[in-house]
Amino acid sequence: MSERMMAVVTGGSRGIGRAIAVELAGGGYDVAITYKTNEQAAAETLRLIEAAGGQGEALRFDVGNAAEADEKVEELLGRRERIDVLINNAGVTADGLFMMMPRQDWNAVIDTTLQGFYNMTKPILRKMVRKKRGCIVSLSSVSALVGNRGQANYAAAKAGIIAASRALAAEVARLGVRVNVVAPGLIETDMTSGLPLENIKQMIPMARIGRPEEVAKVVRFLCSDDASYITGQVISVNGGMF
């Protein structure tokens, strides 16, 4: 891969992550995506990255697993002189009422989203600080801002992303690194395919479900020099839902 601008997108094989990877590729980035299981979907994302004008790389590991993440990120950093952008997108759901929620469902969601944030951000941030330039955008959710029944684990993880990002933004603002959050509402992805979408539309002032590309364009803006004075912020992309 050439030494063009470089972005890393976790959970980039499908949905919002794929849309972000393709959007950044169209903006002049080479893009490394992470994925956990779906090799075919990851290959399709790489094809789309290349079609958009970028060069792609797929890294298969669990961002919530510290040992796996340490190994794969270390390998990536050894190959790349620079990492300009990190997108913390990887996340899972395991919905259920809190009183009946198994510990493994709580841990699975927290590990992928919040532990994944730590596992990916800490090593990449060090390289950004050395270069005195970088942008980190993490994906939260409307669930972090509005209490959704049956999503205590997901809401906790996504709210943690917001709090951690605000604190980190204050720590590294003078070191040339910007840290922001995008909080999507209901977006057309595999994760939302089983929801009663027609009923939920009635809760959205724009009366429609969002598209992954609409989230991706906001992420691309936050990564650009046009957003050079924006850090520590949470941008909601939810059609007015909240």
Predicted pLDDT of residue 7: 98
189 found inside a domain: yes
Inter-residue contact 38 to 14 (CB < 8 Å):
yes
Is 70 exceeded by the pLDDT of residue 1? no
**Number of domains forming the structure of the chain:** 1
Residue 44 pLDDT greater than 70, yes or no? yes
The pLDDT value given to residue 106:
98
pTM given for the model: 0.94
Q: Determine which one of 29, 35, 118, 154 is catalytic.
A: 154
Counts for the chain of helices (H) and strands (E), in that order = 8, 7
Q: Is residue 60 part of a domain?
A: yes
pLDDT digits (tens, 9 = 90+) for 84-138: 999 999 999 999 999 999 999 999 999 999 999 999 999 999 999 999 999 999 9
pLDDT average, residue stretch 22-36:
97
pLDDT at 148: 86
Per the annotation, the verdict on 154 as an active-site residue is: yes
Contact 200, 186 (CB under 8 A): yes
Tell me the CATH number at 143.
3.40.50.720
Mean pLDDT of 44-55: 97
Task: Grade residue 45 by pLDDT with cuts at 50, 70 and 90.
Answer: very high
Provide the residue count of the chain: 242
Question: Which domain, by its residues, includes 211?
Answer: 5-236
Residue-wise pLDDT for 126-168, tens only, equals: 999 999 999 999 999 999 999 889 999 999 999 999 999 999 9
On whether residue 172 sits in a domain, the answer given is yes
